[in-house]
């Protein structure tokens, strides 16, 4: 089977430790580069054996890892259409190798029996562990099907399960995909269903390997409900979007439509009611919805019934195109709430929970008009202020308190000539260590804080997050962090270096960090480039350490002045915006007309 294994350009790039552009150059410049043996003109596939031969002949170093060997064997067997099933079978094999359990993860899914493949998978498990080995294959599967599979972003996964608050309880995901929401829920028991057989099989394998008690079935939850009659503590869901063929005609009399039969063009409202039908009274539903579902005219009757019945508790805008709806199945005899939270959200999941607790919401009676528009952007206070009148008064005080005072500097009648050394010379002398962030550093979630270019520019704490990986560059307090564009600061907290940044670690017995940061900020904007070579040529005045510290203090005061001026400008813009919005919305009035002003005390 190995001779039939094929790879695409991305696979070849991984083998050679290069980018895709390098593979394109190889194909264009080397007539003997292997010809495609399959695929399409835009996504050709090559024989792995031929590629390895070519790399050896041309002196290209390459490393075919065990995970790469396993993955290419799976690709060769499953192709594009059957890949989900063969990946799931690899998961079933890992389960059997670890647990000695001959029961299939799902009916009809048996592990692979090829002895050579079993040996490869055993080696992969020895290197990474059983669960982590399958996660590596899962990542490759998602990458290979990125255009066909819709996945929930990691930050949205964390927010969804935090809002569901289902740790230690029972959780259902009726459109579970490959199981990311169920894995993150921390539930005592999980249930999942997905219309894509391959995704359901992979979810079952992932949950089993990670020790999560789970029941997963394949099938369309709306048409063929695999958990009919089952109530759980919480439902989390990221359903398919825009499926107009969801089965409205054959499901017209279904008892799940407590709040009205969803129109054919509103399948997401069918998913909402399906989820509500599966939570116990008082149970919570957190479901991702397209932003348009909050305002489309055909769905207004169902939205109105959800409001009147007390089921819909919040609509949170998480991206320009999608919202999270928070719903709760009413208790028998429970009085419906009079308000609903409609707002944009920012910050960590814990920040969002605190914001929701503090938000009194919008009166439901104000929403029950001809449109029943629940879009957060339409109803949330302008500028995000819960009380624009108080917000304006506070902004005035902050603006008045912000004093922008330049530092005092000594002036000379003639320019002083200072001896200098370049960054490169200081590095060669051992007085300075320079490291640059990896070009492929990701900032898409994880447990490690990442200092980004925006953080550096604004002087704020690290806002990015990433997961542990080889090659990450650590920033320690006292390091100088700089960007090629000329922004530089001394770090005050530890973090991982973000994309496009460099860290300068000084010998404190010879170089002052604030002094070096000020020199890097002083580089002529016209000579700044994106290359690291330009930064190495930056000339640093050679001064005694005591004088460096004095210069460093002056540099720091100028940086504080820059930050204060920028903050004053931002506060001024906010003050003007609050004033305009308050005058238009009725929270503020012209001075001298007390009868039209709100009392702020």
Closest-CA residue to 342 (of 304, 380, 385, 383) = 380
% of residues, the chain, pLDDT over 90? 47
Give the pLDDT of residue 599: 45
pLDDT digits (tens, 9 = 90+) for 533-590: 356 778 899 999 999 999 999 999 888 888 888 888 888 888 888 888 778 777 788 8
Domains in the chain with CATH codes: 2-144 (no CATH), 154-380 (3.40.50.150), 420-542 (3.90.220.20)
The whole model's pTM is what? 0.64
pLDDT bin (cut points 50, 70, 90) of residue 221 is very high
Q: Is the pLDDT of residue 273 over 70?
A: yes
Whole-number Å distance between alpha carbons of 146 and 141: 8
Asked if residue 189 has pLDDT above 90, the reply is yes
Mean pLDDT of 251-279: 96
Residue closest to 328 by CA, chosen among 264, 441, 233, 230: 233
Give the H or E element holding residue 362.
Answer: strand 362-363
State the chain's mean pLDDT as an integer: 86
Closest Cα partner for 118 from 66, 82, 64? 66
Asked whether the predicted pLDDT for residue 412 surpasses 90, the reply is: no
Q: Does the pLDDT value for residue 415 go beyond 90?
A: no
The residue with greater pLDDT, 180 or 390, is 180
Instruction: Find out whether 152 and 177 touch, Cβ atoms under 8 Å.
Output: yes
pLDDT at 150: 78
The pLDDT tens digits for 99-136 are: 886 666 666 666 656 788 888 889 999 999 999 999 99
Q: What is the mean pLDDT of residues 514-523?
A: 90
Q: What does the pLDDT look like over 496-505, one tens digit per residue?
A: 999 889 999 9
Residue 597 reports pLDDT greater than 80:
no
Q: So what's the pLDDT on residue 588?
A: 82
pLDDT, position 7: 78
Each residue of 463-492: pLDDT tens digit?
Answer: 888 888 888 999 999 999 998 778 899 999
Give yes or no for residue 56 having a pLDDT over 80. yes
Calculate mean pLDDT across residues 266-295. Answer: 96
Task: Give residue 39's region: left, alpha or beta (phi > 0; psi -120 to 50).
Answer: left
Q: Which of 57, 24, 62 is nearest to 43 (CA)?
A: 24
Would you place residue 394 in the very low, low, confident or very high pLDDT band (cuts 50, 70, 90)? confident
The model's confidence at residue 184, banded by pLDDT at 50, 70 and 90, is very high
Please report the pLDDT score of residue 4 as a whole number. Answer: 59
């Amino acid at each position: 089977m190995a001779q039939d294994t094929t790879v695409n350009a991305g696979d070849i790039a991984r083998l050679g430790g290069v980018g895709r552009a390098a593979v394109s150059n190889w194909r264009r410049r080397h007539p003997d580069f292997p010809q495609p043996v399959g695929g399409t003109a835009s996504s050709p596939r090559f024989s792995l054996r031929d590629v390895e031969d070519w790399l050896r002949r041309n002196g290209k170093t390459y490393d075919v890892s065990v995970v790469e060997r396993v993955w290419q064997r799976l690709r060769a067997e499953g192709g594009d259409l059957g890949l989900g099933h063969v990946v799931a079978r690899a998961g079933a094999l890992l389960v059997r190798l670890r647990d000695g359990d001959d029961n299939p993860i799902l009916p009809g899914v048996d592990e692979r029996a090829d002895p050579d493949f079993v040996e490869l998978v055993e080696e992969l498990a020895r290197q990474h562990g059983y669960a982590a080995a399958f996660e590596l294959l899962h990542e490759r599967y998602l990458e290979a099907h990125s255009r066909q599979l819709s996945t929930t972003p990691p930050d949205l996964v964390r927010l969804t399960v935090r809002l569901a608050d289902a740790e230690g309880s029972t959780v259902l995901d009726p459109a579970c995909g490959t199981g990311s929401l169920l894995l993150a829920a921390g539930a005592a028991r999980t249930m999942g269903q997905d219309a894509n057989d391959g995704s359901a099989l992979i979810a079952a394998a992932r949950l089993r390997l990670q020790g999560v008690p789970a029941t997963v079935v394949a099938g369309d939850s709306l048409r063929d409900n695999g958990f009919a009659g089952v109530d759980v503590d919480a439902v989390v869901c990221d359903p398919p979007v825009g499926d107009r063929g969801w089965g409205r005609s054959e499901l017209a009399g279904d008892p799940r439509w407590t709040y009205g039969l969803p129109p054919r063009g509103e399948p997401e409202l069918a998913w909402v009611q399906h989820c509500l039908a599966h939570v116990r009274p008082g149970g919570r539903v957190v479901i991702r919805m397209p932003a348009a579902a909050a305002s489309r005219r055909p769905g207004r009757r169902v939205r109105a019934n959800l409001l009147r019945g007390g089921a819909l508790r919040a609509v949170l805008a998480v991206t320009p195109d999608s919202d999270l709806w928070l719903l709760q199945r009413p208790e028998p005899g429970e009085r419906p709430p009079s308000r609903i939270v409609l707002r944009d959200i920012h910050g960590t999941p814990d920040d969002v929970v605190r914001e929701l607790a503090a938000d009194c919401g919008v009166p439901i009676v104000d929403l029950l008009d001809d449109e029943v528009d629940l879009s957060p952007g339409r109803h949330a206070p302008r500028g995000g202020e819960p009380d624009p009148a108080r917000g304006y008064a506070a902004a005035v005080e902050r603006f008045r308190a912000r004093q922008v005072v330049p530092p005092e500097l000594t002036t000379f009648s003639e320019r002083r000539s200072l001896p200098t050394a370049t960054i490169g010379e200081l590095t060669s002398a051992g007085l300075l260590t320079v490291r640059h962030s990896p070009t492929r550093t990701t900032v898409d979630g994880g447990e490690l804080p990442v200092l980004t270019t925006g953080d550096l520019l604004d002087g704020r704490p690290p806002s990015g997050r990433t997961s542990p990986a080889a090659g990450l560059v650590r920033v320690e307090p006292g390091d100088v962090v700089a960007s090629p564009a000329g922004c530089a600061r001394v770090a005050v907290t530890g973090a991982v270096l973000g994309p496009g940044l460099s860290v300068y670690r000084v010998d404190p017995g010879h170089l002052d960090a604030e002094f070096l940061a000020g020199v890097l900020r002083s580089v002529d904007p016209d000579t700044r480039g994106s290359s690291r070579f330009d930064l190495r040529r930056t000339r640093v005045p050679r001064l005694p350490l005591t004088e460096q510290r004095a210069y460093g203090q002056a540099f720091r005061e100028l940086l504080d002045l820059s930050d204060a001026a920028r903050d004053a400008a931002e506060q001024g813009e906010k003050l003007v915006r609050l004033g305009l919005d308050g005058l238009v919305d009725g929270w503020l009035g012209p001075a001298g007309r007390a009868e039209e002003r709100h009392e702020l005390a």
